[in-house]
Amino acid sequence: MKNALGMEIKSICISQDNKSLIVGNNMGEIFELVSKEARINASTKFLPGKIIVQGHFGPNRKSNNEIWGLAVNPQDSDFYYTCGDDGTLRTYSIS
C-alpha cells in the first residue's frame, strides 16, 4: 500500500484482542490503529491513528535520511532522543 507521499507499509501486527493494529512504514514511523468494532474484519473503520514512533525521513531527500544521534536521558532512562538529517530532535518514552 502506498500513499501520495510515497509511504509504504512494511510491517503490520494485530493485537491479541483483535481490536487494534500496529503498522510500520518505510519512513521509520510506527502507528497504532484502534477499531470501535468488536473485531477487525475486511470492512473495519479505524479511529485516527496514534503515532508511536516518528522517524527522521524526508520523502524528497531519500539519500539524506540518516539518524545522526541517539542519547538516553541521564536522569530518567525512560526517555531517549534522536536527531537526524531532517533537522529535527525527537523525544521518545519507552513506557
Cell of 59: 520523502
3-state secondary structure of 84: strand
* Conformation bin of residue 78: beta by default, left when phi > 0, alpha when psi is -120 to 50: alpha
Whether the per-residue pLDDT at 42 is higher than 80: the answer is yes
Question: Which residue in this structure is represented by grid cell 516518528?
Answer: 54
Report residue 69: phi and psi, to 5°.
-145, 145
pLDDT digits (tens, 9 = 90+) for 44-94: 888 888 888 777 776 666 666 777 888 888 899 888 888 887 888 888 887
Question: In the structure, how many helices (H) and strands (E) does the chain have?
Answer: 0, 7
* CA 77, chain centre distance (Å): 21
Q: Tell me which of 5 and 85 has the higher pLDDT.
A: 85
pTM over 0.75: no
Strand runs labelled E in the chain: 9-14, 20-25, 30-34, 50-53, 67-72, 79-84, 89-93
Question: Which residue in this structure is represented by grid cell 508511536?
Answer: 52
